[in-house]
Amino acid sequence: MRAEVVVVGGGITGVAVAYFLAERGFERVVVFERSYLGSGSTFKCAGGIRASFTSREHIVLMKRSIELWGELSRRLGIKYARSGYLWLASREEDLERLKRYSSIHNQFGVSTRFVEPGEVEEMAPALDTSRLVGALYDPLAGKASPFDAVHKLYLASREMGVEYRFEEVGKILVEGGAARGVASSGGITEAESVVVAAGVWSRQLLEPLGVSLPVEPEPHHAALTEEYGRLFDPLIIDLESGAYAVQTFHGHVLMGVEIPEQPSWEPGERLAFLSKVVRVWSKWLPWLPSANILRYWVGHYEVTPDHHPVLGPVGSIENLFVATGFSGHGFMMGPVVGEELASWVASGAPRTEEAAHLTLRRFEEGRLIKELAVIG
Amino acid sequence: MAPLRSLVCFCEGVTTEDVDRALEEGFRDLESLKRRLRVGMGPCQGRYCIPMLISYLSRRLGVPPERLAPPRVRPPLEPVPARLFLGVGDEG
């Protein structure tokens, strides 16, 4: 069978691309996943979703992604809540930063606003506000369950005829300057187009084709407490350390913070992370020291020099597309990336002008995008 | 009287019927079943339910149990109070 489109990678990006291709009427879409769905970076992420960025590209695309999260949640029953983001400042300098961010958000139509301690206590009853100097609230932001999102996009796309093969793609086949399929552990699959959505590992797939993706595997750690009743609704961010915490749909508190790390393909667990994340969050959540830590894991951000993704045609090879380099924002962008890539494959152009700014070409031309608010 | 149910996972209340449904949906490996059904995600961390699930899957799929890889173990091995991590590790 000759496929219309082969998608390499069964994380949020791959299943979303497959879903939107099927919705456009593609009948022969094959997704390759070498391990299990979500096994790369998606299932290690916190599930936060926001448009409160500080670049036009991120804001415009994420506003569309949030619309799609709402639609997908209604249509497929994905666990998703517009429960907000709350940025916490405990120092004057952090409050000044929040004011700068907020004015950029508002300028692009994302209505973040400063909230008083009383309102903070209503939305986050388990938070100690005594150190609070200021708090910025983003009511458009929210969270979704990564497991539920990937599994339901998989089930819905499978229902629409997408085929999933649990095989490793070793090679992208190119002939006469155009992609013509992939070689996997199960043999050769010919295709009219190939979409590489293999997270940071996309780099290794494209390297033999002379395509150099500027993505680095940056280790990021996360830990999870046992489950509790309602503690706080929004995802909370400590501006001083960049740490985040979110209460999952099941009631666990999922926390992350950056520690000094070098790029690594196989990062290990670090006691220093647990120590720092508990110390930072105990300042805002004074009950945390007596809460139990249930699980701890390490994943990747696939980081580009400008913290924006690489989307769309590879350029030097026809019919070859890529979607990676999300720098920690791949899950939240999943739906809009699925829609944009499906448009690119179907019609040769993205749906949104801003997506066209994010092709690989910007690195060759030195037109990087500026983003100030990268967290966790 | 409530119908009888065969529990695979006590912490999360997952039954053999739930497992059968997930198998029909195409989730056949333990990492996926864990995340689809929450088997092994409760306080026991899979200590009791994962061996039972492996035994059940082995019979349902006709695969020897040693061919069914258990999910990767995430530290800590059992729930640990967060305070134990305060002031340990080489914070940079």
- B-chain CB neighbours of A259 within 8 Å are 91-92
**pLDDT for B1:** 59
In which band, very low, low, confident or very high, does the pLDDT at B2 lie, cut at 50, 70 and 90? low
Task: Give the nearest partner residue to B85 out of A39, A260, A274, using CB atoms.
Answer: A274
The pLDDT tens digits of the residues spanning A52-93 come to 999 999 999 999 999 999 999 999 999 999 999 999 999 999
- Mean pLDDT along residues B1-13: 84
CA distance B74 to chain A (A): 6
Q: Is domain A3-47+147-215+305-365 in CATH 3.40.50.10490, yes or no? A: no
DSSP annotation of A282: H
B36 CB within 8 Å of a chain A CB: yes
- Mean pLDDT along residues A226-233: 97
Check pLDDT > 70 for residue A46: yes
What is the crossing angle of helices A146-159 and A330-347, to 10°? 20
Task: Give the nearest partner residue to A275 out of B26, B81, B85, using CB atoms.
Answer: B85
Check residue A33 and give left, alpha or beta (phi > 0: left; psi -120 to 50: alpha).
Answer: beta
Mean pLDDT of chain A: 96
Q: For chain B, give the number of residues.
A: 92
Task: Give the nearest partner residue to B82 out of A35, A278, A297, using CB atoms.
Answer: A278
**pLDDT for A376:** 40
A-B C-beta contacts closer than 8 Å: 86
Tokens for A326, please give them: 């999300």
Q: Which residue has the tokens 């695969």?
A: B63
The pLDDT tens digits of the residues spanning A7-23 come to 999 999 999 999 999 99
pLDDT above 70 coverage of chain A, percent? 98
**pLDDT for B92:** 44
**pLDDT for A372:** 60
B32 CB within 8 Å of a chain A CB: yes
Side-chain-facing half-sphere of A162: CA atoms under 13 Å: 27
Check pLDDT > 90 for residue A302: yes
B26 CB within 8 Å of a chain A CB: yes
- CA-nearest of A85, A86, A366, A376 to A255 is A376
The domain limits of chain A are 3-47+147-215+305-365, 85-139+216-303
CATH of the domain at B46: 1.10.10
Among the four given CATH numbers 3.30.9.10, 3.40.50.720, 3.40.50.980, 3.40.50.460, the one describing domain A85-139+216-303? 3.30.9.10
Mean pLDDT of chain B: 90
Q: How many CB atoms lie within 10 A of CB A338?
A: 29
Number of domains in chain B: 1
Check pLDDT > 80 for residue A144: yes
Check pLDDT > 70 for residue B89: no
- Domain of B43? 7-75
Least confident segment among A36-40, A252-256, A368-372: A368-372
The pLDDT tens digits of the residues spanning A148-207 come to 999 999 999 999 999 999 999 999 999 999 999 999 999 999 999 999 999 999 999 999
The pLDDT tens digits of the residues spanning B62-84 come to 999 999 999 998 889 889 999 99
Selected residue with higher pLDDT from A1 and A316:
A316
- For residue B70, tell me if it sits in a domain: yes
The pLDDT tens digits of the residues spanning A321-332 come to 999 999 999 999
The pLDDT tens digits of the residues spanning A92-136 come to 999 999 999 999 999 999 999 999 999 999 999 999 999 999 999
B82 CB within 8 Å of a chain A CB: yes
DSSP assignment of A308-356, as one string?
--EEEE-SSSBTEEEEE--TT-HHHHHHHHHHHHHHHHHHSS-SSHHHH
